Amino acid sequence: MGVSVLSSSGLPGGISGLLQVASVLSLLLLLLKAIQLYLRRQWLLKALQQFPCPPSHWLFGHSREFPNDQELQRTLKWVEEFPSACPFWLWGSFARVQVYDPDYMKVILGRSDPKANGSYRFLAPWIGYGLLLLNGQKWFQHRRLLTPAFHYDILKPYVGFMADSVRVMLDKWEKLASQDSPLEVFQPISLMTLDTITKCAFSHQGSLQLDRPSDPAEEGSPAGRRRAGEGQEEEALGLPGHPPLGQREYGLHFRDHLDKMPYTTMCIKEALRLYPPVPGIGRELSKPITFPDGRSLPKGIVVALSIYGLHHNPRVWPNPEVFDPSRFAPGSVPHSHAFLPFSGGSRNCIGKQFAMNELKVAVALTLLRFELLPDPTRVPVPVTRIVLKPENGIHLRLRKLPKTYGVQDGL
């Protein structure tokens, strides 16, 4: 009885003592963390002293100067004010250096620094660790394994599947265009792209764009074969009435014409310059780096390759906000800019030829069937997410064109 009384009476004091110890330990941990953050900030200030930037708040950094949805506007402003590169303080003890000069980028892309984690780490549960997220030797092994699959000759047969996916989208647009109202095209184009990838990469039979199953009565007809994904390149791109691309002697002849679209290619590249799908790429320096102008950064600094900033840099592109396809006329692009619009170095886009083929097919087929007019009441507003996308969609007015036979470049 006496023992239980003593133990119960001493319990509150024991709990109080434990709480006091826990409080002291918590305060010590907080103090230790504050010291670490302070030392980190001082190290960053010293490491970035060669790179001027706008004044930043000691805690909030530059985040209060521009909201998240104005990141592109901030980039354009700093590109004009600070040559080559500019530090961006996310908060008190974390900063990254934005780079938007081609000579700076060539130095970084010529190295093997790992990708900065950033937002990419959130993709891992969905897409796993493939070429996008891997680094080092494992990335090199995967890249070497996949490279033959993207050889130019390997990609040629995919043109027919690309055309099939585009036709499904255009057929749906044709029905909607008669309603004489603007059409939002960003989502349908995204779905068409996904449709093409599932056909080419996974041999998917069918079309993700169709919102109903194929009519059994249509099986065996050209439309039915397209819906079921069984048609093999039924007609030449933009050449109605010609033999199907499935006939080898004509199919190979047509596919070779993708290289004979210089003006269309120039327009595509200029559009990608103005609106790069990936606005930036992060690298964490694995060793010190020195740039052509003598400025340097130590190991451990996160460098953001601002593709959007480079594409809109007035020191690189005169009148950068003007759409001018002649910038990409053969022989007119300086060598230092040659990695546009698919990056460069060892980690250049492995699927760039696939993407260019798909863009050429989509542009050619679309402009053979429709005249596209912007909706002045809903101008697209680009915003930065993992990729560049329109915040409010892309709204166009479509006017159906009379059916024509034959294609000439210049679309």
Binding-site entries: 349
Q: Which residue has the tokens 């030392």?
A: 39
For residues 150 and 351, give the distance between their C-alpha atoms in angstroms, rounded to a whole number.
Answer: 7
Please report the sign of the dihedral spanned by the C-alpha atoms of residue 346, residue 349, residue 353, residue 356: negative
Reduced to 3 states, what is the DSSP secondary structure of residue 397?
Answer: strand
Strand partners, 115: 283
Which helix (H) or strand (E) segment is 33 a member of?
Answer: helix 2-47
Q: What DSSP line would sit under 344-355, residue for residue? A: -GGG--TTHHHH
Pick from 55, 140, 93, 75: nearest CA to 300? 93
Q: What DSSP line would sit under 306-365, residue for residue? A: EHHHHHT-TTTSSSTTS--GGGGSTT-S-GGGTTTTS--GGG--TTHHHHHHHHHHHHHH
For residues 53 and 351, give the distance between their C-alpha atoms in angstroms, rounded to a whole number.
Answer: 36
Strands annotated E in 3-106: 85-91, 94-99
For residues 42 and 60, give the distance between their C-alpha atoms in angstroms, rounded to a whole number.
Answer: 16
Instruction: Tell me the helices (H) and strands (E) count for the chain, helix number first.
Output: 13, 11
Helices (H), 83-128: 102-109, 124-127
Question: With the CA atoms of 271, 273, 277 and 278 taken in that order, what torsion angle do they form, in degrees rounded to the nearest 10?
Answer: 180
Is beta strand 302-306 parallel, antiparallel or unpaired with respect to 94-99?
Answer: parallel
Contacts by 258-262, CB closer than 8 A, 24 or more apart: 258/159, 258/357, 258/360, 258/361, 260/409, 261/360, 261/364, 261/409, 261/411, 262/329, 262/330, 262/409
Do residues 121 and 127 touch, judged by C-beta distance below 8 A? Answer: no
Q: Give the HSE-up count for residue 150: Cα atoms under 13 Å, Cβ half-sphere.
A: 15
Annotated binding site for heme: 349
